[in-house]
């Protein structure tokens, strides 16, 4: 013979979390931060943006990135440029670049166009005789890599923020018990 046991829960929603900071912090910690399956849902799109951008500039792209808020020792982004491309070539490649519709595409294009307007990068690819040209290209590529890192981890920090958590709770109608379990 089977038994049916009914258990009552006090259920908390967005409005309850807005009123009680302690409860909100507890649920935010357990449901949002400690959940190993909670990763930035835009991670794949962000990577696709990086790959498309690198491909547009005729650069090889290699990476190892975490879904954490901050960079770990294992994280890297490596772009390998075509050292024969000039400042003018890069500007031409970016002229019709539309990206894949994600915000990283515009951010990277605007950032790179600003770099190309800087005096130190106007000499890209002009001559292989001068070591300074290679250094300049390496510096140019390094700045783009650093921007990619900045965008990646800034986006992860926002996604894992309490503000983002509350936006998701509100827009999805999430409800929790007092222990932070999703109902």
**Residues 96 and 7 grouped into a single domain:** no
Residue-range definition of the domain harbouring residue 12: 1-38+175-183
Number of domains in the chain: 2
Closest-CA residue to 182 (of 38, 68, 19, 20): 38
The pLDDT tens digits for 117-168 are 998 888 787 655 555 555 688 999 999 999 999 999 999 999 999 999 999 9
The length of the chain is 183
Select from 108, 92, 91 the least CA-distant residue to 52. Answer: 108
pLDDT tens digits for 63-111? 999 988 888 889 999 999 998 899 999 999 999 999 998 889 999 999 9
- Tell me, what's the pLDDT at 128? 53
Q: Are residues 115 and 70 in the same domain?
A: yes
Do 77 and 16 lie in one domain? The reply is no
Q: Which runs of E-coded beta strand occur in 53-173?
A: 60-64, 76-80
Task: Give a yes or no: residue 165 inside a domain.
Answer: no
Give residue 126's pLDDT.
Answer: 62
Which SS3 state, helix, strand or coil, does residue 60 take? strand
């Amino acid at each position: 013979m089977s038994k049916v046991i009914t258990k009552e829960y006090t259920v908390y929603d967005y409005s309850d979390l807005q009123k009680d900071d302690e409860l909100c912090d507890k649920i935010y910690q357990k449901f949002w931060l400690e959940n190993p399956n909670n990763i930035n849902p835009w991670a794949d799109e962000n990577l696709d943006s990086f790959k498309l951008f690198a491909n547009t500039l005729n650069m090889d792209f290699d990476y190892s990135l975490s879904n954490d808020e901050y960079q770990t020792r294992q994280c890297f982004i490596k772009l390998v440029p075509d050292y024969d491309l000039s400042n003018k070539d890069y500007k031409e490649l970016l002229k019709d670049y539309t990206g894949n519709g994600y915000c990283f595409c515009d951010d990277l294009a605007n950032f790179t166009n600003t770099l190309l307007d800087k005096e130190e990068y106007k000499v890209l690819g002009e001559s292989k005789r001068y070591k300074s040209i290679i250094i300049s290209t390496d510096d140019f590529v390094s700045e783009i890599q650093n921007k990619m890192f900045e965008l990646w981890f800034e986006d992860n920090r926002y996604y894992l923020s309490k503000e983002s958590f509350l936006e998701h709770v509100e827009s999805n109608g999430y409800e929790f018990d007092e222990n932070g379990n999703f109902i």
